Amino acid sequence: MNAIVLTDQRWAIGLDGGPLFSLEADRKRSGELTEGGTVIVGHRNLGCFPGDQPLPGRRNIIITPNAELKIDGCEIALNPEAALEMAGGPDAENVWILGGGSVYAVLLSRCRRVYRIQVDAKVESPDTWFPNLDKLANWRLDFASEPFQEGKYTYRFTDYVNTDLA
Ligand SMILES: NC(=O)c1ccc[n+]([C@@H]2O[C@H](COP(=O)([O-])OP(=O)(O)OC[C@H]3O[C@@H](n4cnc5c(N)ncnc54)[C@H](OP(=O)(O)O)[C@@H]3O)[C@@H](O)[C@H]2O)c1
């Protein structure tokens, strides 16, 4: 199981329930990585998907405590552990944590790898964060791309590995 995230320089990921950036590079890479796989998503984050709809061509597991909730194209998990179990456990292939903040926080330790896009910007007063992997002893930077430009943003791909699971 792996996670995909788009952050600013300081690992901020969200503001007022929405994303901080809209990058085609992020959509493209997330699409490529998760194609044919299983995505695990917090209920709030589903509202950030195009048309509030689950991602086509993937198994979508939505985390909510609301057992009555029914969303076409989604399976409901009542908590992150249940989502993990439904996905086949942390060692299952092609399983992706897509956030948001509460889901990353709980399931990060079970991820082998984090695929980050790091935007060279500092967002004012964000309210949702990804754990700072540069400060966690069990996470190591494994890859950093050259910088790329999209519109006004410079970004780079940075991948981290969980040395506890390596
Ligand atoms: N930059 C990125 O890569 C990225 C990616 C994803 C999200 N985001 C941002 O992150 C923010 C959303 O994150 P968030 O933390 O506010 O929300 P979230 O993690 O997307 O979803 C939270 C919801 O998930 C359910 N949930 C979470 N933990 C649960 C648990 N232990 N048991 C049962 N249900 C649980 C609850 O659903 P109910 O609401 O049904 O109670 C809760 O309200 C947004 O700003 C979004 O744009 C950024």
What does each of the 166 residues of the chain score in pLDDT, given as a tens digit?
999 999 999 999 999 999 999 999 999 999 999 999 999 999 999 988 888 899 999 999 999 999 999 999 999 999 999 999 999 998 999 999 999 999 999 999 999 999 999 999 999 999 999 999 999 999 999 999 999 999 999 999 999 999 999 8
- CA–CA gap between residue 75 and residue 55 (Å, rounded): 12
- Does any ligand 1 atom lie closer than 6 A to the CB of residue 102? yes
- Ligand 1 atom closest to the CA of 17, numbered from 1: 45
Q: Domains in the chain and their CATH numbers? A: 2-162 (3.40.430.10)
The dihedral formed by the CA atoms of 28, 29, 33 and 36, expressed in degrees to the nearest 10: -10
- Does any ligand 1 atom lie closer than 6 A to the CB of residue 5? yes
